[in-house]
Amino acid sequence: MAADTAQPKPNAGMAALWRFLPMLWPKGEAELKARVILAVMLVLAGKAITLLGPYALKLAVDRMSAHAAFAVVAGLVLAYAAARFGGVLSDNLRNAVFEKVGQDAARRLAAKVFRHVHDLSLRFHLERRTGSLTKIVERGTKSIDMMLYFLLFNIAPTLIELTAICVIFFVKFGAGLVAATLAIVVIYIAFTRKVSDWRTHIQRQMNDVDNKAIGRAVDSLLNYETVKYFGAEDRESARYEEAVGAFARASVRNEVSLAWLNIGQSLITNLMMAGAMIFTVWGWSQGRFTPGDVVWINGLLMQLFRPLDMLGWVYRSIRQGLIDMEAMWDLLDTPAEVVDKPGAPALAVNRGGIRFDHVGFGYDPGRDILKGVDIDIPAGTSCAIVGPSGAGKSTIARLLYRFYDPSAGRILIDGQDIAGVNQRSLRAAIGIVPQDTVLFNDTLGYNIGYGREGSSQAEIEAAARGAAIDHFIAALPDQYESMVGERGLKLSGGEKQRVAIARTLLKNPPILVLDEATSALDSRTEQAIQDTLDRIAESRSTIMIAHRLSTIVNADQIVVLDEGRIAERGTHEQLLDAAGLYADLWYRQAAEQLAEETAQAAE
């Protein structure tokens, strides 16, 4: 996807508008279509009523000049007031009728964008700032209601009113006044568009710096503990103040440009008003027009200029809406890196055998992480994957989950290439306990129950017991209703990992991935959890990604990765006898553990 700061493509605004127009007439929604029709009828009725108002006032003035009866003049004044009220009434009824249409369109668009964002690849999310992404979605979905309102109830009615007024001017005052009116309207629109386009560039810059400020704030707050670790509060405040300062400067430029636009618009409209009324007064002095005609033409022009005055704001709002929608359409147009083939069948897991068939993969071109990895994991067996940092261990799990597709080779489950099955069924068959557990800012019960939709409270509690977190939860005042905080920050690393284990136990998948599943636990809890993991792994195909080798000594096979290739494979005893990379890692960890235990004993 293009960066937030990218300039608009040619005709991008019209393209965004064209994609938006079908939302005015939602397919299969009879009620919403009826509401649109009724709203348009109310617009037409409102314009007809408001055009009658100035004419009623003209007649009242003329009758006063002719010394008509009080009741006649009073009746005309009441008609003028009724016309003004009728215009307000029709506008508000129109808004009430149409509101559901706008909100429904915004809802459908928001759901579509949200679903698409979840469909995008892990690579996309790793490269984007969450704050900037949510801002794009928020602005884009909010613009839909505004666009619907302005297109239907401002631009179209203004054109209708301009046409009606030009007809009246032609019949009553001649073609000259019509030509002058149209010329002023064209000048007004041209001036508004030129200045607003200039302001659009300023507004786009303001959005860019706003996105950066929001993204920087979110990033800093999400890394609250890191900021504290390094005493970087002042540094983060300075960076945020710099971003906010840039937004403030852009906002000042935006408001100054708005002032110049308003001044220019007011000058044009008031010149037209003065010229038209002087023309009418001249006609009155020649005996062609009545005093009421001066009032009439003043009322008509005031009604015309009121939406024209708004037209500048509407044009700017539509331009801004198109900018926001353009960014949102770009987001919707971002292709998912991993997609299901048309008609892809569901994965059928009979036993759960896994095969990595000469798999190659790199996150960036020219930088391969895995180089021809070949691993066979028979159904119901366990395979530990170990090796130095950066060897590609966690990449194995991401490829199995199909967050990425291999650049070479295949991954098979029970003989089925996972690239040929739908992703939902694939991920339903795999459970993972990740090294870095991120929880929703919700209750403990919700986070555990997330493993399987619709799970009962009894099932959630059974999963908590299996993960040895039930005693911890029972000691909390709110127990399973206790909030875990943003990203689970109210829990310790070990507690978060046990929640992840409980969540996976509840899912009860045929294939299990343990990615450093006990790395954040103390030795005593680690042994208890390890016993639980060993028990649930007995009937499952299990991949154990481990740095701490003591946790995988009972694996049916151990694969040692080094620089993206398989350096060794075998059982724990076989690899120790081979005296290779695994043995070197084993003895080094044993020495480190002994030194740590000695230091603790000395304390």
As a residue count, the chain comes to 603
Q: Shortest CA distance to 152 belongs to which of 105, 186, 195, 192?
A: 105
* pLDDT greater than 50 at residue 6: no
Pick the CATH number of 341-429+509-603 from 1.10.287.1060, 3.90.1720.10, 3.40.50.300, 3.40.50.720: 3.40.50.300
Task: Tell me the CA distances in angstroms from 307 to 229, 256, 317, one per residue in order.
Answer: 57, 23, 14
Going by their DSSP bridges, the two strands 408-413 and 416-417 should be labelled as: antiparallel
What pLDDT, on the 0 to 100 scale, is given for residue 244?
78
| Whether the predicted pLDDT of 478 surpasses 70 | yes
Among residues of the chain, what percentage have pLDDT more than 70?
Answer: 87
Q: Is the pLDDT of residue 203 over 80?
A: no
pLDDT digits (tens, 9 = 90+) for 18-73: 776 677 677 777 888 888 888 888 888 888 888 888 888 888 888 888 878 888 88
| Residues whose CB is less than 8 angstroms from the CB of residue 226 and which lie 6 or more positions away in sequence, other chains included | 232
Give backbone dihedrals phi and psi of 579, rounded to 5 degrees, phi first: 50, 45
Per residue in 230-270, pLDDT (tens digit) is 677 787 788 777 777 777 787 887 778 778 878 888 888 88
The tens digit of pLDDT for each residue in 404-416 reads 888 888 888 888 8
Q: With bands split at pLDDT 50, 70 and 90, how would you rate the model's confidence at 111?
A: confident
Residue 11: is its pLDDT beyond 60?
A: no
Domain ranges of the chain: 12-333, 341-429+509-603, 437-504
- Give the tens place of pLDDT for each residue, 419-432: 888 888 888 888 88
Residues 602 and 79: their CA atoms lie apart, in Å, by 99
Q: Which tokens in the block code for residue 548?
A: 């701490």
pLDDT in the model for residue 287: 81
Is residue 2 over pLDDT 50? no
Higher pLDDT, 17 or 49: 49
At 380 the pLDDT is: 82
The predicted pLDDT at position 3 comes to 37
Whether 456 shows a pLDDT value over 80: the answer reads yes
pLDDT of residue 585: 80
CB atoms within 10 A of CB 191: 16
pLDDT digits (tens, 9 = 90+) for 281-293: 888 888 888 888 8
CATH code that applies to domain 12-333:
1.20.1560.10
91 vs 102: CA distance, rounded Å: 16
- For 571-592, write each residue's pLDDT tens digit: 888 888 888 888 888 788 777 6
Residue 205: what pLDDT? Answer: 75
Contact partners, residue 271, CB within 8 Å, separation at least 6: 184
Is the pTM higher than 0.75? no
CA dist., res. 196 & res. 361, Å (int): 49
Band (10; pLDDT cuts 50, 70, 90): very low
Q: Return the residue matching tokens 């200029």.
A: 305
Better-scored residue on pLDDT, 163 or 526: 163
pLDDT at 332 over 80: no
Closest CA to 501 of 513, 486, 491, 511: 513
* Of 167, 228, 162, 165, the residue nearest 189 (C-alpha): 162
Q: What rounded mean pLDDT belongs to the chain?
A: 78
Alpha carbon dihedral 593, 595, 600, 602, in 10-degree steps, equals 160
Q: Where are the alpha helices (DSSP H) in 66-174?
A: 70-119, 122-127, 130-150, 156-173
Angstrom distances, CA of residue 111 to CA of 137, 140, 166, 388 = 10, 12, 45, 42
The whole-number pLDDT of residue 4 equals: 39
Q: What is the pLDDT of residue 138?
A: 74
Average pLDDT over residues 201-218: 77
Tell me which of 531 and 45 has the higher pLDDT.
45
Most confident residue range from 16-25, 180-189, 437-446? 180-189
The span from the CA of 553 to the CA of 572, in Å, is 5
CA atoms of 447 and 180, how far apart (whole Å): 69
C-alpha triplet 177, 178, 183: angle, nearest 5°:
95
Q: Where are the alpha helices (DSSP H) in 175-223?
A: 175-222
User: Given this model, what pLDDT does residue 522 score?
Assistant: 60
Which of 1-15, 336-350, 514-528 shows the lowest per-residue confidence on average (mean pLDDT)?
A: 1-15
- Closest by alpha carbon to 312, among 192, 153, 182, 157? 192
